[in-house]
Amino acid sequence: MSNIVEINNLVKSYENGHIKALNGIDLTIEEGEFVSIIGPSGSGKSTLLNMLGALDSPDSGSINVAGYDLSSSKDLNKFRAQKIGFVFQLHNLIPNLSVVENVEIPMFTSKMSNSEMRSKALTLLEGVGLKEKASQKPSKLSGGERQRVAIARALANNPSVILADEPTGSLDSKTSSKILKQLIDLHKKENVTLIIVTHDMNVAKLADRVIEVLDGKLVNAGDKSLENKIVVE
Amino acid sequence: MSFLKFILKNPFRRKNSAILAIFGICIGIIVIVALGGITSGLVSTFEDTIHAGGADFSISGKETGNSAYGTNTISANWTNIIANVSGVEEVYPIYVVLTSIGDDYMNTLIGINPNGTSMADLGIVEGRIFTDNASEVIIGKVYAKDKNLSVGDSIKIKGENFKVVGIYETGNSNMAGAVFTSITKVGDLMDDKDSISNLYVKVKKGEDPKTVADRIDKLYGENITTVSSVMEMQQMATMLNSLQAASWGISLLAIVVGGLGIINTMLMSVFERTREIGVLKAVGWSNRKILTMIVGESLVITILSAIIGSVIGVAACLLLCPMIGLTPVFNVETFVQAFGIAIIVGIIGGLYPASKAVKLPPTEALRYE
């Protein structure tokens, strides 16, 4: 399989270089892989995820995702619209829009007609088991349901990579399991590369590979199992 | 859902704030529309008086001053003299007298050539025009209603019976309550065929009425005067210019006040939706799209304000202007001005908050609590 992510000596610092969030990261991720990124708070894992999604730019080094060189590419909006699907810890749904309209939001960047957008959004909602709640407002949904809408929204533009930042961080354990199952099913069904940042070891160990970040460096980048490893925090 | 529908939905998420912004801009628009209606109404009344209906200007004797038709007279010979002045197309004499009409001891009787009624801005709404030298009259709609007269009825003028053959409407309030017959008949009644009150003058196509009036003033200014004299035109023009300047002044004020209001509303909206803007960036929305969204939302508020403000402005004008004897006139320019200002305010008011939103780094926007 080819690599969908290739990172070489990635450096990112804040506050005029006083805080090194990423300090020489080297990483490759294969297409269709499920990877979890773990590490204590402030270790740089979210910064790494932001770099992968082109929400932040590196100070030095190279980062190539789905064929885009993110350290030099100018068309990052197009990259995010076409290649990346984000799932955040908080669902971040727009409250005055219905569930189906929320799923349509990323499709505004495509050339789809209104009816095509509606049809696709309903199919995606069906995939996460919420088609019957398509016309409801997010406020009428439970926390787990809202996160499932956010997953449907992340899949709206057929992304190559789903980046999930603590997707179950604000959910109870039962709902968390459901959401994770849904994400993993989609990853397998659509062969989408899934990268999850998490504190939760139970979530991390579901991945094909676990990457540990500590003080802006990778301390473990390739093991398939967590045995004899990592004690986070 | 279309992008347009998305833009239309957003401004009303904070209803109170949106209503306040609409209220602020509405006040400016109401004033612009109302002042526009009043100014155009004054222009219309001014034109009715000065241009004497379909005529370009009127001529009266020196002693009659600026009155459109006084009861003082000039010689009927002036009709031919003025007709020969270069640039004059048609001249119609009118003879205005105050005499007993029906049960009124004194009312206005106006004599005019039957072909010249258009000069006096008369439109027949019922019946026909009187024939020359016949005992026939046409009466104003207002007069007919007051006296309960209709076509076919008889009316006594200076003891002689006249038949009402037509009812007219006019934009000139001075003539709405008068009675018209042929000038020959008025001469008979007054036993004076050599006098007239005024002359209505229409200039040839392509001629400037002011130039022709100046020409007449230069030739015969010692004896007669053109009512639409330059001075009077200038005085009226100065007054209208002042009104127009006031209208633009208020427009400018509306832009500043409305602009500040909309900037405040949109800034609040952007701050409250910081995380949402972060999500829009994360899903690939370009800065241009986010800018269009926020300016679009601002425009929704201001255009809605323009619609509401225009309706209230027109309604207020129609309700209040008759109380001061003015008929407001609303023309397209007034509404173009109102909507133009609303659009300018919408764009200016939306651009600053939009630029703030565009400059937000997505990672910071997504972390915003």
pLDDT in tens, B88-125: 988 989 898 888 898 888 888 999 988 877 777 778 88
What pLDDT is attached to residue A182? Answer: 82
Tens of pLDDT, residue by residue over A67-101, are 889 888 778 888 999 899 998 888 789 888 999 99
Secondary structure, 3-state, chain B: CCHHHHHHHHHHHCHHHHHHHHHHHHHHHHHHHHHHHHHHHHHHHHHHHHCCCCCCEEEEEHHHCCCCCCCCCEECCHHHHHHCCCCEEEEEEEEEEEEEECCEEEEEEEEECHHHHHHHCEEEEEECCCCCCCCEEEEEHHHHHHHCCCCCCEEEECCEEEEEEEEEEECCCCCCCCEEEEHHHHHHHHCCCCEECEEEEEECCCCCHHHHHHHHHHHHCCCEEECCCHHHHHHHHHHHHHHHHHHHHHHHHHHHHHHHHHHHHHHHHHHHCHHHHHHHHHCCCCHHHHHHHHHHHHHHHHHHHHHHHHHHHHHHHHHHHHHHCCCCCCCHHHHHHHHHHHHHHHHHHHHHHHHHHHHCCHHHHHHCC
- Residues from chain B that touch A95, judged by Cβ atoms under 8 A, are 13
Tens of pLDDT, residue by residue over B329-362, are 888 988 998 899 899 989 988 898 899 888 888 8
Strands A161-165 and A84-87: parallel
pLDDT band at B67 (very low <50, low <70, confident <90, very high): very low
Calculate how close chain B gets to A52, using CA atoms only, in Å: 12
The crossing angle, in degrees rounded to 10, of helices B287-320 and B230-272 is 140
Calculate how close chain A gets to B309, using CA atoms only, in Å: 27
Mean pLDDT of the region B307-329: 87
What pLDDT is attached to residue A232? Answer: 39
Q: Of B181, B206, B227, at which residue does a domain stop?
A: B227
Tens of pLDDT, residue by residue over B267-308, are 888 888 888 899 999 998 998 999 999 999 999 999 999 999
Judged by CB atoms closer than 8 Å, whether chains meet at A114 and B2 is answered as yes
Dihedrals φ, ψ of B210, to 5°?
-65, -40
Average model confidence (pLDDT) across chain A = 86
Does one domain contain both B171 and B34? no
**What is A32-55+75-220's CATH number?**
3.40.50.300
Mean pLDDT of the region B133-153: 90
Does one domain contain both B240 and B169? no
Residues of A with CB under 8 A from a CB of B: 50, 53, 55-56, 77-82, 84, 86, 88, 90, 92, 94-97, 101, 104-106, 108-109, 114, 117-118, 153, 156-157
Task: Tell me, yes or no, if B361 comes closer than 8 A to chain A by beta carbon.
Answer: yes
- pLDDT over 70 at B186, yes or no: yes
Task: Tell me, yes or no, if B283 comes closer than 8 A to chain A by beta carbon.
Answer: yes
Calculate how close chain B gets to A55, using CA atoms only, in Å: 6
Does one domain contain both B318 and B222? no
Judged by CB atoms closer than 8 Å, whether chains meet at A109 and B281 is answered as no
What residue of B is the nearest CA neighbor of A158? B283
pLDDT band at A228 (very low <50, low <70, confident <90, very high): very low
Find the CB nearest A106 among B10, B283, B361. B283
Report which DSSP code applies to A99. H
Tens of pLDDT, residue by residue over A34-64, are 999 998 888 888 899 999 999 888 889 999 9
What pLDDT is attached to residue B18? Answer: 84
Judged by CB atoms closer than 8 Å, whether chains meet at B13 and A105 is answered as no
Calculate how close chain B gets to A44, using CA atoms only, in Å: 13
Does one domain contain both B57 and B42? no
pLDDT-above-90 percentage for chain B: 20
Q: What Å distances lie between residue B169 and A42, A94, A126, B48, B180, CA to CA?
A: 86, 61, 70, 13, 12
Does one domain contain both B240 and B134? no
- Residues from chain A that touch B289, judged by Cβ atoms under 8 A, are 108-109
pLDDT band at A193 (very low <50, low <70, confident <90, very high): very high
What residue of B is the nearest CA neighbor of A150? B279
The domain tally of chain B equals: 2
| Most trustworthy range by pLDDT among A160-164, B100-104, B172-176, B228-232 | A160-164
Task: Determine the Cα–Cα distance for residues B139 and B142; give it in Å rounded to an integer.
Answer: 8
Does one domain contain both B269 and B303? yes
What pLDDT is attached to residue B70? Answer: 44
Find the CB nearest B282 among A80, A114, A117. A80
Find the CB nearest B284 among A80, A101, A114. A80
- Residues from chain A that touch B361, judged by Cβ atoms under 8 A, are 55-56
Does one domain contain both B70 and B134? yes
Q: Of B227, B246, B267, at which residue does a domain stop?
A: B227
Does one domain contain both B23 and B109? no
| Residue of B184 and B246 predicted with greater confidence | B184
Judged by CB atoms closer than 8 Å, whether chains meet at A50 and B363 is answered as yes
- pLDDT over 90 at A104, yes or no: yes
- pLDDT over 70 at A229, yes or no: no
Alpha helices in A53-205 (DSSP H): 76-83, 99-104, 114-127, 143-154, 173-190, 201-204
CB B294 within 8 A of CB B6: no
Judged by CB atoms closer than 8 Å, whether chains meet at A55 and B1 is answered as no
Does one domain contain both B101 and B205? yes
Indicate which of B279, B281, B364 best probes the interface with A, i.e. most A CBs within 10 Å of its own CB: B279
Does one domain contain both B204 and B262? no
Mean pLDDT of the region A121-138: 90
Size of interface A-B (CB pairs under 8 A): 75
Judged by CB atoms closer than 8 Å, whether chains meet at A157 and B284 is answered as yes
- The residue segments making up the domain with residue B60 are 53-227
What residue of B is the nearest CA neighbor of A121? B1
Judged by CB atoms closer than 8 Å, whether chains meet at B13 and A95 is answered as yes
Does one domain contain both B87 and B216? yes
Mean pLDDT of the region A216-228: 66
Mean pLDDT of the region B205-215: 83
Does one domain contain both B212 and B246? no
- pLDDT over 90 at B50, yes or no: no
What pLDDT is attached to residue B69? Answer: 44
Find the CB nearest B284 among A77, A97, A114. A77
Average model confidence (pLDDT) across chain B = 83
Domain range list for chain A: 32-55+75-220
